[in-house]
């Protein structure tokens, strides 16, 4: 069985950054990835908030970080991990391979919760976005809507109100889950219009979204719809192994340590306040150094 000093599960920004730091420290490193390099960011057409790049596609950014990790000696195993057996030498069983490692970094990320309505996937990148900070400026001066009532949705609406002419904030209840202070701020911004106790029932537009229909039949003209209805962490693998919070994220503080001495967690799959590229990179760094 192959043995590595460090095994990293997930080749998103957190995992790749952990690979860079671990490799530079002279460790042998294997990164497991079952889907695609870059994680969630790989599908973002434009990234404008990663230091040193005023504009870069998510795919290109991921490729650059991946290349950097591989050039430093990290190895990629394109295989889906199916089981982890903790121990002094953790055993990592993937679909087609099996390894042991002294240290394990879980960086499996999260996926945005989807609305689950027709044409949602077709229109991603064509008016449907899950990240206002990533894609908001593409709709400068336009009309957009945000769905959700948590801190992410309200923060997005406030952020977009500074860029766009008009922002609808659509929430399924008449009370926000977001912090009261934040919700009050949004309510007092003149170009944010609340659509409470409403849901989105239909997406309209040919090549890109141009309108949405709400469940009361109202049609809104818009240029983009930002879906911010929470995230679903990718924790299937560690559900019975590590402690999860009530939303399913792996509990670990800023040290990225879990209840096992040699298992660390980095990036969006960890309990945290800000889930951004920069904070994922920071976690990868901290986990590798730890």
Q: Residue numbers of the site for ligand NAP (CB under 6 A)?
A: 113, 147-153, 155, 172-173, 177, 199, 228-231, 273
* Nearest position to ligand NAP, beta carbon: 150
Q: How far is the CB of 209 from ligand NAP (least distance, A)?
A: 17
Give the number of other CB atoms < 10 A from CB of residue 241: 18
**Nearer to ligand NAP by C-beta: 143 or 201?**
201
**Nearer to ligand NAP by C-beta: 97 or 276?**
276
**Nearer to ligand NAP by C-beta: 85 or 196?**
196
Residue appearing with tokens 């769905």: 147
The C-alpha atoms of residue 71 and residue 73 are separated, in whole angstroms, by 5
Q: How far is the CB of 142 from ligand NAP (least distance, A)?
A: 22
Q: How far is the CB of 196 from ligand NAP (least distance, A)?
A: 11
Catalytic (active-site) positions? 131, 134-135
Q: How far is the CB of 136 from ligand NAP (least distance, A)?
A: 15
Residue appearing with tokens 């980095």: 266
Question: At 66, phi and psi to the nearest 5?
Answer: -60, -50
CA distances from 7 to 68, 93, 101, 231, 265 (A): 17, 11, 6, 25, 12
Six-digit token string for 33: 């990835």
Nearest to 90 by CA among 217, 209, 264, 240: 264
- Tell me how long the chain is: 290
Q: How far is the CB of 245 from ligand NAP (least distance, A)?
A: 9
Q: Using an 8 Å Cβ cutoff, are 18 and 287 in contact?
A: yes
**Nearer to ligand NAP by C-beta: 71 or 215?**
215
Six-digit token string for 192: 């944010």
Antiparallel, parallel or unpaired: β 143-147 and 219-221 = unpaired
**Nearer to ligand NAP by C-beta: 143 or 199?**
199
Q: How far is the CB of 24 from ligand NAP (least distance, A)?
A: 31
Question: At 286, phi and psi to the nearest 5?
Answer: -60, -45
The C-alpha atoms of residue 76 and residue 66 are separated, in whole angstroms, by 9
DSSP 250: B
- The phi-psi region of residue 272 (left if phi > 0; otherwise alpha if psi is between -120 and 50; otherwise beta) is beta
**Nearer to ligand NAP by C-beta: 54 or 188?**
188
């Amino acid at each position: 069985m192959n043995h590595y000093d460090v095994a990293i599960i997930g080749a998103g920004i957190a995992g790749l950054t952990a690979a860079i730091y671990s490799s530079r420290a002279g460790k042998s490193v294997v990164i497991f990835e079952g889907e695609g390099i870059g994680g969630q960011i790989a599908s973002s057409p434009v990234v404008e908030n990663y230091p040193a790049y005023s504009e870069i596609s998510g795919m290109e950014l991921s490729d650059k970080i991946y290349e950097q990790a591989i050039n430093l000696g990290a190895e990629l195993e394109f295989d889906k991990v199916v089981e982890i057996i903790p121990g002094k030498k953790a055993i990592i069983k993937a679909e087609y391979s099996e390894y042991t490692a002294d240290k394990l970094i879980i960086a499996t990320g999260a996926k945005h919760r989807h609305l689950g309505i027709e044409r949602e996937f077709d229109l991603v990148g064509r008016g449907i976005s899950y990240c206002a900070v990533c894609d908001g400026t593409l709709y400068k001066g336009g009309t957009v809507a945000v769905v959700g009532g948590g801190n992410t949705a309200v923060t997005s609406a406030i952020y977009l109100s500074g860029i766009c002419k008009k922002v609808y904030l659509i929430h399924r209840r008449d009370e926000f889950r977001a912090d009261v202070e934040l919700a009050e701020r949004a309510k007092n911004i003149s170009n944010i219009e609340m659509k409470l106790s409403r849901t989105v029932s239909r997406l309209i537009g040919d090549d890109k979204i141009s309108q949405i229909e709400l469940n009361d039949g109202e049609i809104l003209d818009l240029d983009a719809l930002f879906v911010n209805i929470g995230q679903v962490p990718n924790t299937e693998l560690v559900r019975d192994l590590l402690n999860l919070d009530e939303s399913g994220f792996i509990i670990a503080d800023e040290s990225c340590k879990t209840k096992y001495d040699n298992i660390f967690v980095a990036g969006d799959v960890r309990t945290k306040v800000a889930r951004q590229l920069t904070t994922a990179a920071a976690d990868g760094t901290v986990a590798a150094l730890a």
